[in-house]
Amino acid sequence: MISSHASSFAGLPVRLFTPGEPLPEDPSAVAWRLEVEDFDAEPEEFADLVATFRATVPAEAVRAVVVGEWGTAYERALPVGLLVDAAAEWTGLRAVFLADLVSEQCEISWLTLADITPLLTAYPALETLWVRGGNELTLSPVRHDGLRELRFESGGLPGPLVQAVGESQLPALERLVFWLGRSDYGASTGREELAPVLAGTGLPALRHLGLCNSEIANVVARLVADAPVVARLEVLDLSMGVLTDEGLDALLAGQSLAHLRRLDLTHHFLSEEAQRRVVAALPGVDVDLSDARKVEVYNGHKYRFTAVGE
């Protein structure tokens, strides 16, 4: 569950754009949040808001944009085209957060996204892209020389999206995070889709990899154990999922992880013995084992849940 909007983004405080309000002394010192008040607003209302923003905030001052509610986000596709249309003006745009909505506005797995390939093509100097939601989210493999951070938050991420990122050429990318999610909310990532990411061929600068919030966390751990990309990482994040002793055994039986600075296993289903074992196996690594979870039993059936689903 997402309960709060981003208060800062890309190192800047987030400021809601409100037509008619005076601009801050330095309009480039904030990340501008674009959002309509009515969750059931017509498409024209958000388009008018963006047009007013473009006419009000100096184009050279637009450094970061956060897109919130655009109106019936649960059924209407994210209007990526409105940002693409501004590319010739917003030459200094370096960071975009698409769909920063909280659960009260729209559950993460109900958000209706779109093809984000045109956004990356339109902004070759973009450095940070965060995307929330997975429904109808698509990407074609691209080459982008500016991107340094790419983050996908979802209760169920489409496998083709993960594969497309792995097949892209992103020579500057240092941080890559996927919330893979659950199959009942659209997750479809498996061995084939993860293969190009874990090979890391198009990700030579990657130092932080997150394969998070996964119902197949044990499978992911087995794949990571022998993945070429791991050797260049400083941070490996397998948090928010349903990792058990079985997955940890596979992870520790693979390549050495002693070079890591941090191994994030937050929100896990590991036994106390397994927790002690991973800490002992990696004495120089910051291993985060917080938020240990317990199996939940309903009507005689055992369940392990990811941190974020619907």
Task: State the sign of the Cα–Cα–Cα–Cα dihedral 179, 188, 133, 195.
Answer: positive
Could you report the per-residue pLDDT of 134-158, keeping only the tens digit for each?
999 999 999 999 999 999 999 999 9
Low-confidence residues of the chain: pLDDT under 70? 1, 3
Could you report the per-residue pLDDT of 92-117, keeping only the tens digit for each?
999 999 999 998 888 999 999 999 99
Cα–Cα distance measured from residue 210 to residue 160, given in angstroms and rounded to the nearest whole number: 17
Residue 130's SS3 state is strand
State the DSSP code for 205: T
State the DSSP code for 96: E
Q: What is the pLDDT of residue 1?
A: 62
Cα–Cα distance measured from residue 80 to residue 290, given in angstroms and rounded to the nearest whole number: 37
Token pair 């013995």 is found at 273
Q: Which residues on adjacent β-strands are paired with residue 70?
A: none
Q: Which of 121, 59, 51, 68 is nearest to 93 (CA)?
A: 59
Cα–Cα distance measured from residue 261 to residue 299, given in angstroms and rounded to the nearest whole number: 42
pTM tops 0.75: yes
Residue length of the chain: 310
Token pair 């559950």 is found at 107
Q: Which residues on adjacent β-strands are paired with residue 15?
A: 32
Task: State the sign of the Cα–Cα–Cα–Cα dihedral 225, 303, 135, 179.
Answer: negative
46 sits in which H/E element: helix 43-56
